[in-house]
Amino acid sequence: MIRGVRGATTVSGNTEVAIISATEELFAKLIKVNHIQPNSVASVFISTTEDITAAFPAKAMRKFEGWTYVPVMCMQEMPVPNSLKMCVRIMMHVNTDILQKDINHVYLKGATVLRPDLGSLV
């Protein structure tokens, strides 16, 4: 079965270093707490708010061994008034037998406000 594994973080600035660093941290925590192997991942969607334009956050994923052939797509979030700024979100589609309620979604930095009901192990 395919399950969605979600995560989000905020970026300190619209620079390539800040975007890649924040995304790399989020990605590492998502795969660690959910014990995700690249061969179990169908695809990854990464979205950013419209104020993040200096780099593709998917570039961070390519730093991880074994993730070269996992399909990744970057996109932009809808610019909803008063929504969280400087935010990167990840949605991984993972083949797993884990129940939906047992997936560990990760929200870091300023993105903890997005889903305080889900919490996080990190």
For residues 84 and 114, give the distance between their C-alpha atoms in angstroms, rounded to a whole number: 8
65 included as an active-site residue: no
Options 16, 24, 87, 107, the catalytic residue? 107
> In 40-122, at which residue ranges do the beta strands (DSSP E only) sit?
41-48, 72-76, 87-95, 106-107
Q: Closest by alpha carbon to 88, among 52, 119, 54?
A: 52
Judge whether 107 and 9 are in contact, CB under 8 Å.
yes
Handedness of CA 116, 110, 45, 77 (dihedral sign): positive
69 included as an active-site residue: no
Options 25, 62, 65, 69, the catalytic residue? 62
Options 16, 24, 50, 77, the catalytic residue? 77
Options 6, 25, 65, 87, the catalytic residue? 6
87 included as an active-site residue: no
Options 16, 69, 74, 87, the catalytic residue? 74
3 included as an active-site residue: no
Catalytic annotation, residues: 6, 62, 74, 77, 89, 107, 115
